[in-house]
Every structure is written in structure tokens, then in C-alpha cells.
Amino acid sequence: MAGVSSESLATALTTLEAKLPTASLGLAKELFGILGTVDSSAGLRRALTDPSRSGDEKSALVKQLFGGKVSADAADIAGGLASLRWASARDIGDALETLAATVVIAVAENKSAVSASGISGLEELENDLFSFNQAVASSHEVQRALSEPQASGTAKTTLTERLVPGASEEAKVLIGQAVSQPRGLKPTRLVARFAELAAKRQQRWIATVSVTSPLTETQFSRLQAGLNSLYGRELKVNINVDPALIGGIRVQVGDEVLDASVVSRLGQLHRQLAS
């Protein structure tokens, strides 16, 4: 999303901020429901992004369609989106998905108590999303089940709940959305995007660190401190044990990869010999 659509999303997120302190999962589910309706109708998407229509006209259309079927807050948020300008019909759906996910993330953030493990609701959400993706990555059978077009969204959601049975309610909403309505993406990619939104919410990046064996608490602390110093901010560090690396470490932060594994060095040597 770029240009005018990116500006509109930024405006919508700023407006949404006022509702987040008292937001509920019910509001997020309503927004995801509206998204499902928008995604199901190309005509509706065109009507909501038609540059020849005024913002008021498009907002009124949303309230006509959803008024009385969802809460006033949900109708206002969706109507506000429709009143903005969008470069393509797809962009308004992407924006609605982002707003709904942001509501879920804010609900996790607003939890006053920490979990039994001593972490915040937002950290718990990130961990649950990461655990789900790890569970899917470790099973080809699960991957096939989640990509089966004939399987219902309900069946896929039931499967995912067995993969992460202790997940928070917020994580269940986001994971359920990703597997039942991935919108052209792999469910794990959409879950990863939700995790990135959660990390951004607390002004952190996600660092996925691949190592050959589990780290001790001291090693993890040193790694965390080193990465925080390197990037100039606090990172969310997820550890992935991957014996295939043979040795060394691989760190990915966003699109940047720092690879000091034996496999990487062997590959570099091979390329040098072949040149």
C-alpha cells in the first residue's frame, strides 16, 4: 500500500486511537465481519473506493449496509474508512484488516495483569502467534490441512486451537481470522503480519534468531542486549532451534538478515571456488 492509500490508512489509525483504550474483541470481530462482506463483493469495493463519489456518500453507504447489524463504533470506523481516498479497491480491505487487528492488539495491550509466566498481554499475544507459526512449520500435514480449499473455516479454526491450546483469546481471534480468511496469503504469513503489527504497537521489532541448540538464560540475555545495542531499540527476540545450520547463528530482523552460520560460510566458499 502506497501513496494516497498509505496516507488514508495513517489517518484512519490516528482516528482509531481514541477508541482503543476501551476497545473490545467484539469490536474487532465486527470489523473482521465487515471485511468479509467487503471482500465478497467486487461491486461494493468499487462503490466504496469510487473517486467520483464524495466521502459522505460512501460513508452513508456503509452505514446503510451495516447500521443496526453492528455496533455504532464498528459502523463509524468502517464509514470513516470509506470516506477516505483509496488508490485501489483492494486497499480499503487491507486497511480494514489492519484496523481490526490493531483493535485486537490493543485489547491485549490493555490487560492490566501479567500472565502466570510474568509477561504482559501484548508479549503473550506475540508469543502465541509465533508458537502457532512454529507449529504449522513443523508439520506438512497441518500445512496441507490449512491450505485445503474444501475445508471450512470452522474446521480450520478448530484445528488451530489444538495446535496452540493455551493461546490467549486475542491470539485465537487473529489466528482464526488468518486461517478462515487469509485473503490470498498463506495463513502463517498473515499471522506473521499480525505479529509485526503487535511488535510495532510497542515500538519494537521482531528478531528471529536461528541457532543450532537451545540458549542458556545467560546466553539469551547477552544476545538480547547485543541486538538491542546494534539496532538502537528494544527487540522482541524469538529463538528458533535449527540443527541444519551446523553451527553459528542467523538473525533476521524484518527484511534484514545477519547470517554467521556454518552453512552460510560454506555456501560463500562454494561460490568463491566456482567463480
Cβ contact 165:145 at 8 Å = no
- Residue-number span of the structural domain to which 129 is assigned: 121-201
Per-residue pLDDT of 133-182, as tens digits, reads: 999 999 999 999 998 888 888 899 899 888 998 899 999 999 999 999 99
Per-residue pLDDT of 225-263, as tens digits, reads: 998 888 886 788 899 998 888 888 888 887 788 888 777
For the chain, what is the mean pLDDT? 89
Spatial separation of the C-alpha atoms in residues 250 and 257, rounded to whole Å: 7
Residue 52 in domain: yes
Q: How many domains does the chain have?
A: 3
Same domain as 84, residue 165:
no
Per-residue pLDDT of 185-236, as tens digits, reads: 999 999 999 999 998 887 567 788 999 899 999 999 999 999 888 888 678 8
Of the candidates 107, 103, 108, 136, the residue with the CA atom closest to the CA atom of residue 122: 108
Spatial separation of the C-alpha atoms in residues 254 and 159, rounded to whole Å: 29
Same domain as 197, residue 142:
yes
Q: Is 129 helix (H, G, I), strand (E, B) or coil?
A: helix
Same domain as 238, residue 165:
no
Q: Is 205 helix (H, G, I), strand (E, B) or coil?
A: strand
Per-residue pLDDT of 12-43, as tens digits, reads: 999 999 999 999 999 999 999 999 999 999 99
Residue at a domain's end among 57, 75, 109: 109
Q: Where are the beta strands (DSSP E) in the chain?
A: 205-211, 235-241, 249-253, 256-259
| Residue 144 to residues 165, 172, 179, 206, 249, Cα–Cα distance (Å) | 20, 20, 12, 27, 30
Same domain as 209, residue 169:
no
